[in-house]
Structure 1
């Protein structure tokens, strides 16, 4: 398991697009922070997530450990990347992950494209 990102600030599920299999988590209007962070997962196959996180630590899991977590899933799902959010309680199986920090607010469009509800 490899840690790939970590933020000690609140995040919430901002949007999930079924047609584009895209999940957007956003940290905005957090006390003590003047920036917004968008975290996007693309090509989402499977997810077990909470609506909010007080902090966000993302790990990428490979090999046998991934198979242990996704024990009942198909090879197609296991072939994607497994991202753990704050330990093993939450996860996203997706084709990729990226993030962006800027000075935007909750009305500012996301860098990750015109996602409905983020224009």
Structure 2
């Protein structure tokens, strides 16, 4: 297990998750994705789901909207005896384009970074 190891998940953001006007999705959605990628990363590196201890920083840099395809990545930054520091990034890779039609969408190149965070997880000793 070395720093730099990463895991990425991708998922469609359903319209049922729109929480605010303009189909905006609350920031907690990204944090939930970060928990999921952290879990897989720990299973792969430590053979255990581990537990999230906390975030040292969270930045919401752009809106996440219903109809987006979002990609969440966890990268192993530091390995302690039982703790692991992870860097997280959520990026929109596809976004709906309702002005062109009800099912129209675009691939975003480059992807739009919507959330960045740093967090610490712990595994059994």
Higher-Rg structure is 2
Return the structure number with greater helix share: 2
Q: Normalising by structure 2, report the TM-score.
A: 0.30
More strand by share: 2
Instruction: Name the TM-score, length of structure 1 as normaliser.
Output: 0.31
